[in-house]
Amino acid sequence: MPESLTLSIDAMGGDHGPSVTVAGAALAARQYGTEVRFLLHGDEKLIEAELAKHAVLRPLCEVRHTDKFIAMDEKPAQAMRRGKGSSLWNAAESVKTGEAGACVSAGNTGALMAIAMLVLRMAPGIHRPAIVAGWPTAKGITAVLDVGANVESDAEQLVEFAIMGAAFHHAVYKSARPSVGILNVGSEDQKGHDEVRGAHALLRATTLDLDYYGFVEGTDIAKGTVDVIVTDGFTGNIALKTAEGLARFFANELRAAFTANPLSMLGALLSAGSLGAMRKKLDPGGANGGPLLGLNGIVVKSHGGADARSYASAIRVAVDLARSDFTAEIDRNIKRLTAVTSETAPPAAPDDKVE
């Protein structure tokens, strides 16, 4: 039996607060039993009212009271100034002190990123964090990063994303040796801007614990051509939101088509099983839980509007990461990358100072 793991939960985060975060933790408690325990940070009165509905969770958790929380529309700079002592800050602090193996929050993404970076700092050798999203594809789940932490990324940072994304996919989706591609406007070596071509060259030149596929295009995401797709946060965020919008559009159109007339409704009834399986596969809640990769600790971001089942999915991601050698795998590959980049770095400019 695995050793008991403690998770730190920002119980006030998200659109629904304790009504979802506590219920999601209760679903996770049914799955893990005594293997996972919880620190619930937030308003004790509100949390206890929800705990009264979930007897399975009560003996597995401790409530850490605070009456401070970060609003969903609060700007990161403001959150950093007044965030100390808030449920989000305290949840991250529990990871820093070693009380918890991972933190889960459905709170404000910008505030979570800013506070987590301030409290936990960056992991050794990592320049910038990245947010990773699990993307349903024809072959399973592809990890796409960055989807919003960085507007721009240079070649070395993109390679760091590749390393972190591969470690994430291995830990959460159990791929033996993840395949990685860089998102580009074409598959040819000469395509793309300097940053993606530089990252492409670095990945070709560095021996890492991953299989580098090369450049991939937007159509390759849904195909599941590779396990991990690397891009900057500007491109990744647009791609993610475009996909979410298209998924809602197709779902609405399909619903309208199947309710257009009695014959269509009969067809929907006869196809209910297949339609249900398709809806389950495409449901973003099933892949909810985007870690903030690159920090000196595990922090998982849940969708702000998640329901209890989706929030439990984010908890499962945190458990999988905390139980894996995720950080050690990243560290090994970052050291290999550093060795290559230090060898190819231009010599330092001579010191022109006259003694």
**Model pLDDT, residue 2:** 58
More confident residue, 131 or 243: 131
Is the pLDDT score of 263 beyond 80? no
Of the pLDDT bands very low, low, confident and very high (cuts 50, 70, 90), residue 96 is: very high
- Rounded CA separation 100/4 (Å): 11
* CA atoms of 229 and 162, how far apart (whole Å): 8
State mean pLDDT over 330-348. 75
Mean pLDDT of the chain: 86
pLDDT digits (tens, 9 = 90+) for 197-232: 999 998 988 888 888 999 999 989 889 999 999 999
pLDDT digits (tens, 9 = 90+) for 2-47: 568 999 999 999 889 999 999 999 999 999 999 999 999 999 999 9
Residue with tokens 């459905």: 106
What separation, in Å, do the N-terminal and C-terminal C-alpha atoms of the chain show? 67
Residues 146-185 have pLDDT tens digits of 888 888 889 999 999 999 999 999 999 999 899 999 999 8
Give the integer Cα–Cα distance in Å for 156 and 158: 5
pLDDT score recorded for residue 299:
95
The pLDDT value given to residue 354: 40
Delineate the domains of the chain, giving CATH numbers in brackets: 1-126+294-325 (3.40.718.10), 128-287 (3.40.718.10)
Q: Which helix (H) or strand (E) holds 186?
A: none
Query: What's residue 270's pLDDT?
Result: 63
